[in-house]
Structure 1
């Protein structure tokens, strides 16, 4: 397929998703992904549209294909890692969610969205201390609330060990 056709078809499908015509977008993207099985951007957009339709299980192979390829922009790679990790979590595949989201936070250490979804997955695996530490650290780093800012040093210290008491 000529790249101009690919670009036009992909843009059209993304536009359909963005204006709420997700089922039409899904049909076009599935067909395009079948024709271009090694195109990570097409795979990512196909995964994304499945997620927007609540078809999480169907989204997984497209996310995996997108992440196994090369050529995604940083924004799309970050989105694919978050999307796949979140999708694994919603499907009850918690260990895979943690692994994917840890990979995402390693690649994009300043992304609060990845950290938030990782904290949820950590909670699901019983790693509640790690989840709380991550969320409290993110909260004090990103909050504009003056009351939280006033207690920042204390919150940061408590986040390291929520079970600690004064002796």
Structure 2
């Protein structure tokens, strides 16, 4: 079954809308994908599909050069689903595209310190956290 057929059969099903948005996104039809993601959100997308949807929507908006909207979508994903490194990385990309590189780098330092098990990196933990705080201001 094709995605359009699935969507025609279940026009308001959040899962069908999300699958359709993903297919459009993967195929490079990003403007159409953005609209489909918005419809999926309006239909009540939730759980891990919502996290993935917000991340992919934010990435799509960034590719469409709608940088502020991309940052907003990814900030929402980061607030709703803290601890997901993929969200933080895509948010950093969007922040960089929006001209907010300092904030982007600052947002990656803490997760790096928390996740990379390296004595060398941990030796500079205190300094790096202070530098991140300075970058974020």
Q: TM-score, normalised by structure 2?
A: 0.90
| Aligned counterpart, 1:43 | 17
**Offset at residue 76 of structure 1 (A):** 0.8
Residue of structure 2 aligned with 1:108, choices 81, 85, 88: 81
| Aligned counterpart, 1:122 | 95
| Aligned counterpart, 1:136 | 109
CA RMSD of superposed structures (Å) = 1.9
Unaligned runs of 5+ in 1: 1-12, 14-27
Deviating above 6 A after TM superposition, structure 1's stretches of 4 or more consecutive aligned residues are none
Residue of structure 1 aligned with 2:49, choices 58, 73, 76: 76
CA distance in structure 1 between the aligned counterparts of 2:121 and 2:43, rounded to whole angstroms? 42
Q: Tell which structure's C-alpha radius of gyration is larger.
A: 1
Q: TM-score, normalised by structure 1?
A: 0.75
Higher relative contact order, chain-length normalized (CA < 8 Å, sep 6+)? 2
| Aligned counterpart, 1:52 | 26
CA distance in structure 1 between the aligned counterparts of 2:121 and 2:73, rounded to whole angstroms? 30
2:39 is equivalent to residue 91 of structure 1: no
CA deviation vs aligned residue, 1:115-147 (integer Å, no higher than 9, x gap):
111111111111122111101122112212332
CA deviation vs aligned residue, 1:67-105 (integer Å, no higher than 9, x gap):
1122x4411111000010000001111011011111111
Change (3 A) 1:145 1:50: farther
2:130 is equivalent to residue 157 of structure 1: yes
2:120 is equivalent to residue 147 of structure 1: yes
Aligned length: 137
CA distance in structure 1 between the aligned counterparts of 2:121 and 2:80, rounded to whole angstroms? 28
